[in-house]
Amino acid sequence: MRDGQQASKDLLASRLSLVKSVGSRLTYATRSLRRAPLVQQGTINLIKSNRRDGMSFYGDLVELSLRNAQSAVQVLGFDEQSAPKEPIGSLGAATVVSVTPGHIPMSQIQYWRAFSRHIRTAAVFMWDVDVIPARFSFGLKFTDEAWTASSMGAEYLSAAISQPVAYFPAPILAPEPRTRGIFRERLGLGDKFVVAYQFDIGSSARRKNPAAAIAIYRAAFPKDTGDTHLLLKCARADESSDEWKSLIDAKSSRTDITLVNEFWERELVKDMFVDIDCYLSPHRSEGYGLTVAEAVANGVYVIATAHGGPVDFMAADSCGLIPCRLVQVGPDPIYPTKAKWANPDIDSAADLLRDAFTNRERTRSMGLKAKDHALETFTVARASEWIVSRLR
């Protein structure tokens, strides 16, 4: 009974928050009626989230590509809770909106002038499965076209909307030089073969599939020999939740498996990617795969499910692609029940991981080969040319 009452309270709080959010944006839009913004030719409006999440980082890549094309960019911030106070004084002749799918309509209410019929508009759309809820695709009806973060996303979205859909080849950036060993020393990892997986459990624990990472590692290394270590770096986990408890149970008494549930400073995350030997991502789907891309950019050998966004930039001859089969999502708080995502093969992934440890020199060589492929193919120049051609 208590659970039902709490669920009702949570639902009511969520709806009140939504009403408040919509109200603040309507107020902002009404206030902007009093000020007719100057339209600046050659300037592009980029609406992106103020929250430092995956969508915001992807928006940064769009901004970098625009600026590299020598385009004047006006960044219009989007906050999930409320609208800004001051109306914008000028507008560009084109608009790109890079927020989560459910917030596209909110951004259109807030910056309605940026979506007028005189301004060319595109929405960056990131989604993970083959069924797209109507509430997520609704805002796309008021844009000229949609850009997706993966070729898989382009295929799924093209089947769901009538607007043109294109796959944006986001740039993969070379990391700045860093001192090796700092991360290993901090966590006391020594010279072990370190396997890592970084994920946000708030983005769906089932989709990120961290339990599979533990299963793969334990199948590859049934005993703790002191030579290997698995690090699961998590964020936003409720440690009283079933999801977190199941990870603790899966880890069991293994001291060579570390579960971390905290936000790390960006510098520490960069140090991690410099010091690990292998990045393991047994995801069921990824709209893009920012952490996988970062691992590849650092020359880390990647073993990941052969499905979703990472397949676009993971070279088959230098990365470990885990065989998988598509299965129905089933009951889920985020994704449609009848949608499909991947189920990675645990035994095949364990074979890849065991081989990566056994042949460490080849593993390092393959990581560097994958890095060269990604940095040579997914350049800022290519992304800039692509964006300019679309907006033109």
User: Rounded to two decimals, what is the model's pTM?
Assistant: 0.90
Residue type (1 letter), 341: W
Give Cβ neighbours of residue 245 (< 8 Å, ≥ 6 apart): none
**Half-sphere CA count of 279, side-chain side, radius 13 A:** 32
Distance CA 134, CA 124 (A): 16
Give the CATH number of domain 24-168; options: 3.30.540.10, 3.40.50.2000, 3.40.50.300, 2.60.40.10: 3.40.50.2000
Would you write out the chain's pLDDT as a tens digit for each of its 392 residues? 444 455 455 555 556 666 667 777 777 767 666 665 666 788 999 999 887 777 888 999 999 999 999 889 999 999 877 777 777 778 888 999 999 998 999 999 999 889 988 899 999 999 999 999 998 999 999 999 999 999 999 999 999 999 999 999 999 999 999 999 999 999 999 999 999 999 988 778 899 999 999 999 999 999 999 999 999 999 888 888 888 899 999 998 899 999 999 989 999 999 999 999 999 999 999 999 999 999 999 999 999 999 999 999 999 999 999 999 999 999 998 899 999 999 999 999 999 999 999 999 999 999 999 999 999 999 999 999 999 899 87
Residue 1 is predicted with a pLDDT of 42
Distance CA 269, CA 264 (A): 7
Decide if 196 contacts 280 (C-beta within 8 A).
yes
Distance CA 253, CA 49 (A): 41
Gyration radius from the chain CA atoms: 22
Distance CA 135, CA 366 (A): 42
Give Cβ neighbours of residue 162 (< 8 Å, ≥ 6 apart): none
In Å, how far from its chain's centre is CA 307? 14
Domain 24-168 identical in fold to domain 182-377: yes
Token readout for 108 is: 């259109």
The DSSP call for residue 46 is E
Orientation angle between helical segments 290-297 and 360-377, nearest 10 degrees: 110
In Å, how far from its chain's centre is CA 208? 11
Distance CA 27, CA 240 (A): 39
Q: Does domain 182-377 have CATH number 3.40.50.2000?
A: yes
In Å, how far from its chain's centre is CA 335? 16
Residue 214 is predicted with a pLDDT of 97
Distance CA 242, CA 18 (A): 27
Decide if 172 contacts 207 (C-beta within 8 A).
no
Token readout for 167 is: 């796959």
**Tokens 């590509």 appear where?**
65
Longest distance between any two alpha carbons in the chain, whole Å? 70
Residue extents of the structural domains in the chain: 24-168, 182-377
Residue type (1 letter), 112: W
| Region of residue 192 (phi > 0: left; psi between -120 and 50: alpha; otherwise: beta) | beta
